[in-house]
Amino acid sequence: MSSPAIRIRVRMTARPIDEPHRVSSQLELLFDLTFVVAVAAVTEQLAHTIADGHARDGVLPFLQVFFAIWWAWMNFTWFASSYDTDDVTYRILTMVQMAGVLLLGAGVPAAADHGDYLMITSGYLIMRLGLISLWVRAGVEDPASRRTAFRYAFGIGILQIGWFGRLYLATTGAPDRVLLVTFVVLAALELCVPLWAERPHATNWHPHHIAERYGLFTIILLGEAVLASSNAVRRAVVATAVSAELIAVAACGLVILFALWWLYFLRPAGPRLEDRRDRSYRWGYGHYGIFASLAALGAGLEVAVEQTSHELHLSPTGASYAVAVPAACFVFLLWAVHRCVGEPSRAHLGTAACGAAVLLALPLATPWIGSVATLALLAATCVALVAVASWAVNVRQ
């Protein structure tokens, strides 16, 4: 059977919101792979910061860089859901955005070690230029969505001036407080662009396609956590030898990741997004916390494994919290995101709140029971949450 011909040029018009069998394209999957590099860089940097005993100093830079990664991925994902033509121009402009992601990831160490944000900002600009070009093309070729497309292009373009203004402040030695305020302001404006741009006409994103894309990025982040833990195990084996403690920590980490995967995919989001399109912003924006929690969990598990092979500047309690805090954030934020599209009920809120509270309380027992036992209790708590949530879903059905 011959393969389909390459589409040189396809008029960019809005795709149907009820298009049957809409799944992620091969190009979208390749696009996601470039984010593996960027997420790995920011996760590794956070793990080093935590291991050195400077977790508080590393959290804000981590959240800022991760925002750039997540926001660029999210913007392209929703655009592609509405206007993916998969022709030559579309592929090239997607490749441009991929190059920006790789440059951003390469700039993470320089930003963390020397406060040099040139590569990160440049990579972000390249990603945004590729997306602006796509929005301009959509505005030219799709008259029905012209105002929306041009609003997107204008809003994104203006904000890039602001990001380079922030870069200038950083290079001239502006205080950290000023840089933080400018970041918060610019990030808030970035979040406002879709709200403003889609006032004249909403884009035709596909609910099941969006749900699948978010699910795939969740799997990528879980995979990053597995990779970080595996690398830490490999280094631990080289430094000392295989020990019962190392095996126990690695097994507990795997159970935690598997439980969180189970929780995320327990309630399919596609049908709920289809029924609650008006709540898509809250659902989509809420995933920033979920995604960041999974990335931070990867860093925490890496630290937990490293602690079995050599002494860190971080206390055992601190290492336990490096796993417990992102896991608790994930559990609670997952409830909040599901709530945005109509589920779950107040009973689910109680379960999520109690589960998150238990996860945050368990590390307090580390001085008496040890970090391995604490990690085992964290894993057991996550398994219990899966059991309760699965039971609740079956009861509703």
State pLDDT tens for residues 78-89: 999 999 998 999
What pLDDT was estimated at residue 2? Answer: 41
What pLDDT was estimated at residue 4? Answer: 53
Residues of the chain where predicted confidence (pLDDT) is lower than 70: 1-6, 238-241, 310-311, 343-347, 395-397
Residue 326 CB-density burial (10 A; 0-12 exposed, 13-18 middle, 19+ buried): buried
State pLDDT tens for residues 308-350: 776 677 888 988 999 999 999 999 999 888 888 775 555 577 7
What pLDDT was estimated at residue 311? Answer: 66
55: Cβ contacts below 8 Å, ≥ 6 apart:
49, 314, 318, 322
Map out the domains of the chain as residue ranges. Answer: 26-197, 207-396
What pLDDT was estimated at residue 176? Answer: 86
Closest CA to 381 of 228, 294, 255: 255
Please tell me the distance from the alpha carbon of residue 242 to that of residue 238, in angstroms, as a whole number: 9
What pLDDT was estimated at residue 198? Answer: 93
Residue type, 290: I
Under DSSP, is residue 145 helix (H, G, I), strand (E, B) or coil?
A: helix
Residue 257 CB-density burial (10 A; 0-12 exposed, 13-18 middle, 19+ buried): buried
What pLDDT was estimated at residue 213? Answer: 96
Closest CA to 83 of 94, 96, 72: 94
What pLDDT was estimated at residue 352? Answer: 86
What pLDDT was estimated at residue 18? Answer: 86
Residue 98 is encoded by which pair of tokens? 């991929």
What pLDDT was estimated at residue 391? Answer: 84
What pLDDT was estimated at residue 396? Answer: 61
What pLDDT was estimated at residue 123? Answer: 92
What pLDDT was estimated at residue 3? Answer: 46
